[in-house]
Amino acid sequence: MDINALPQISPIRTQSMQNLQTPAEVTKGFSAFLTDALNQVNQAQVDSANMADRFAAGNVEIHQVTIASQKASVMLDLTMQVRNKVIESYQEIMRMSI
């Protein structure tokens, strides 16, 4: 068997100590991510309401209003599902014995 015919295994790469983040930095990054996601959901809700107002004024078509409304609805539903999973996970962690 030819040794060159075997697949090559790449070396394991480890993070240097300089790239590691403190728990506070990770929390801050995650918090910023959640804040941004919630702001996007809120903006979709506002856009949907504005689109409905513009429809009432006769400036946009009904399909545009429907799309904006459904987009906002799906984003809100997903946000609620993620929130429920986070709460469920937190409760499960709190039930664990140390």
Identify whether the C-beta of residue 43 lies closer than 8 Å to the C-beta of residue 72: no
Residue 32, in any domain of the structure: yes
State pLDDT tens for residues 19-41.
Answer: 788 888 888 888 888 899 999 99
Q: State the total domains in the chain.
A: 1
Residue 50, in any domain of the structure: yes
Residue 64, in any domain of the structure: yes
CB-CB neighbours of 80 under 10 Å: 11
Domain that holds residue 57: 23-97
- What is the rounded CA–CA span in Å between residue 14 and residue 16? 6
State pLDDT tens for residues 38-70.
Answer: 999 999 999 999 999 999 999 999 999 999 999
Residue 45, in any domain of the structure: yes
Residue 81, in any domain of the structure: yes
Residue 11, in any domain of the structure: no
Residue 2, in any domain of the structure: no
pTM, whole model, 2 decimals?
Answer: 0.69
- What is the rounded CA–CA span in Å between residue 68 and residue 45? 8
Residue 65, in any domain of the structure: yes
